Amino acid sequence: MAFLIDGKKISSQIKDELKTEIAEMKKKGTEVTLAVIQVGNDPASSVYVGNKKKACAYIGIRSLAYELPESTTEMELLTLIDELNNRKDVNGILVQLPVPAHINEKHIIEAIHPLKDVDGFHPRNVGALVTGEDGFVSCTPAGIIQLLKRSNIDIDGKECVVVGRSNIVGKPMAILLLRENATVTICHSHTKDLKEVCKRADILVAAIGKPKFFNRDYIKEGAVVIDVGIHRNEQNKLCGDVDRDDVMDLVSAITPVPGGVGPMTIAMLMYNCVEAVRLQKTER
């Protein structure tokens, strides 16, 4: 029977470790502050922002909320980011994506100071990830590495296949697995014989955004499967990119949806906020 990798439990462990660390920091007079900016009132974004604020409150991170109207101009947003970049009492800045279409997302990502870029999207942090230097790592793939390590799943020397090559999931995921000494293949919509490539995987990371796409034809017996996708099915229930019922008897371990990768993303955001204090101290 497959082992279910419990993202809820592991994310709680990480949050509790951070809570203890922050309490210690507070005793020494250091406060951790995250500024969260939301432009417009997209309902999904509001839920994500609300969850981030809740996690901050639980852990002891001070959160500053900026809820800006949909009509906010790019210049107004850049001005706010500049102000927060220059504030010594702000450690992390997060702009909830997507921003409205009239604002250029790339300009926003590049405006956040790399030492406050707790999402890990700034090109300098992406570069640091590739060269193995200190910096922030995108939260979802960083959380997946924690899921594997804390479930005692060995990565070293393993054949890993990452399906999806987005800047926030697929690409950083592949680099992190490489850093853990895996042999890594990245697949995308132009990959030929996707089934055959996936069947080579000891660890398969499915991140394409297509509900229940990966059935048993894509899975090697005994593989570990990480399901990044989140969708609502016809019954309004959450499901992933993997058809879990179909693969369950084949895999050795799998992340459920919900309760697998999802909870890890916020835990790693909280981790990055604490990391921000350390990196900012080193640089100054």
Specify whether 119 is catalytic. Answer: yes
Residue 165 among known ligand-binding residues: yes
Q: What are phi and psi of 216, to 5 degrees?
A: -65, -20
Residue identified by tokens 């590739």 is: 130
Q: What are phi and psi of 146, to 5 degrees?
A: -65, -40
Residue 179 among known ligand-binding residues: no
If the CB atoms of residues 130 and 279 are measured against ligand NDP, the closer one turns out to be 130
* Least gap, CB of 164 to ligand NDP (angstroms): 4
- Is 138 within 8 Å of 119 (Cβ atoms)? yes
Specify whether 52 is catalytic. Answer: yes
If the CB atoms of residues 223 and 267 are measured against ligand NDP, the closer one turns out to be 267
Distance CA 56, CA 33 (A): 9
* Least gap, CB of 69 to ligand NDP (angstroms): 26
Q: Which residues contact 126 (CB under 8 A, 6 or more apart)?
A: 120, 167, 172
Nearest residue relative to ligand NDP (C-beta): 166
Give the residues lining the site for ligand NDP (CB under 6 A).
140, 163-166, 168-170, 187-191, 194, 207-210, 228-230, 261-262, 265
Which one of the listed residues 117, 119, 202, 227 is annotated catalytic? 119
- With b for 16 or more beta-carbon neighbours within 10 A and e for fewer, the 81-96 pattern comes to beebbeeeebbbbbbb
Specify whether 235 is catalytic. Answer: no
SS3 212: coil
* Least gap, CB of 200 to ligand NDP (angstroms): 15
* Least gap, CB of 189 to ligand NDP (angstroms): 3
- Mind telling me the catalytic residues? 52, 96, 119
**Annotated binding-site positions for NADP(+):** 164-166, 230
